[in-house]
Structure 1
Amino acid sequence: MGESEVIEPLSEKPDAGKPVFQDVPKWYHRWFRTPKELRELGVVGINMRNARFLLPNNPRRLYDLVDNKLRTKALAEAEGMTVAETYGVLRTPHDANIVEKILKGKEAFVIKPTRGSGGKGIMVIDKKVGKNYIKPSGTEVTPGDLKNHVSNILAGLFSLGGKRDYALIEYRVQPATLLTDMSFQGAPDIRVVMLHGYPVMAMLRASTKESDGRSNLHQGAVGVGIDIATGMSVRAIHHGKPITYHPDLGISLIGVQMPDWETILEMAVTCQEMTGLGYLGVDIMIDENKGPLMIEVNARPGLAIQMANGIGLLKRLEPIVIEHKRNPGADRAAKIAYSKKHFRAKLPAPRGEG
């Protein structure tokens, strides 16, 4: 597949609740490919990611800067980036017992482990009705459920390595209206994968009813590939299969222009600079009033972004390795300009046109 090739979205809308699948290359649906075929497609697997890009570029001493969300937020704020407001940090069993007191006056919020990964342990609350809290899916959470969830976070149930953790309570992002239309109640986020400070690939992760307001693809969220050069959505997948429309909302996911794209790229490159990591993923949300917010940085970004974009990561990582050796002192503007020039996708018609 040529890097500029894009699969055109289908023009027919789906029946309610039924995703429409795109006509895609057969490699997406085959369980087994030979090493030669994978190399030709430029697909990066976990072993290659770790051996060629992660381990050589991410010193172990730097991991805690991103594995600990509190440290990451502090770094981002020092760089002048906007982050989600912290309502509280729960550190002890006593804190779990008084979580409602800490949340007094806050009806919408997010509770997450400070050392969690893969979306595990994140609880999103949209509102409070009576004594109970309501999740994006409509599920009620009792005060006892809330306390138990915090206790599980503190015990390390969701943390990397199963070590004891803290529970972070944050502002519940109010996503930009354009993105709300693409997500089932939850707040979508944008992930940008970076190598040596160059934006390599990007996708929007939008929640579904199945994912319960969370944007993790393994929990049933939708992945939407984004053109690095323009910020326009070019492809979409659900459970690894390409789709054109959101499975719950029936709205087209293709040809949507992401707001504040230049700011998003700037934030992603800044995250690389502030952490010192060579290979990383940066997660950003776009708030209706606050604009782009840096949510977290991941030192071990997953590989499903290749499926969302229909392009093997190797086709973009290898040129960056060469460019970085050729021009090791490139500044932020030069890196963004390089990525825009060399990783531009063939764009579909904007949503609502054609």
Structure 2
Amino acid sequence: MATFPFEIKAREGKARTGVLKTLRGGIRTPAFMPVGTAATVKALYMDQVEQAGADIILGNTYHLMLRPGAERVKRLGGLHAFSGWRGPMLTDSGGFQVWSLSQLRKMDADGVTFRSHIDGSEHRLTPARSIEIQADLLGADISMQLDECTDFPCTHEEAERSLNLSLDWGARSLEAFGERDTQTLFGIVQGSNFPDLREKSAKGVVAQGFGGIALGGLAVGEGHDQMCATIDMTVPHLPGDKPRYVMGVGKPIDLVESVARGIDMFDCVLPTRAGRHGQAWTWDGPINLKNARFAEDTSPIDEAVPSPASQDYSKAYLHHLIKSGEYLGSMILSWHNTAFFQALMAEIRLAIEENRFEALRAELSRRWASTKSSARMPKDA
């Protein structure tokens, strides 16, 4: 299995910036991955995603195996050719969607049988099948092990049973992945919010020898403070020479605080989901373009964000589009939000290089204090 070179260029406290080098290009870290659940970052062209500054996007095993079918994607050239994305791509294993979306889920030691949320058809997902879909059929640069997502809250006993299953599935995922020169596989730490279980899971995942390590079981309703506490109890048990990925996070303040704790990679559907509901994220916090106070506001969303979507359209025009139900309103806001999240990550990277990240963190925490909650939105991007 290839382990992509991960070069740390600068540090400030636990925060770090660097580059994860894949065969399809470098991923500047900390990195926010736009979510392309069904081979599309919703409401955007792939060149808009690239121009916004994204180095990598995320696809999803669960959704693509159901529609159009992973074998079909393979026949059509793989997920990169199918979607038109030229850069690196990470795929989620499908475990979270099985937990959050599927019907009549039946878990056993070897995998999970579930019914599609689309048409009720029955499907089977095992560690080997998940790897086959991600690495062989979709052609992901970075695949994720299949894990069991733990309910929150849960008992210590439930969390330990679940993490043990995920460790076993991690080993099976590695076996199925085998030796590959151009792709890598990330493991996933579970253990809910119990320090001893996070330590047990982290040490087990590290020992298995993955190319990177994700923190699972977050953004499932635990809230911002508990999310931060869980990262704090996990990171000390992770190696410093591999990328760390918090899955499903999140709001801008969640990203800043996670970076402060040593996290390198993120994904969340928030930018495009918010855009479709009339919300724009800015350096001064989120604004709701449905609000009547924007009906005659001729200023752009945020001139400090380097994107036409952020600079070239007035709030009054966007208010009109959203209130009128015009598709263009959702498209422009999704474009802006995607560009804002990338601008945020670029500023974080620069701040770490210039040793002013803590000052940036304090300023953004002041501006965004009211937005401190983490909420994963799993259904689509």
TM range (shorter): under 0.3
Q: Under a length normalisation based on structure 2, what TM-score does the superposition of the two structures give?
A: 0.26
Q: Which structure has greater helix proportion? A: 2
Q: Which has the higher contact order (CA 8 A, sep 6+)?
A: 1
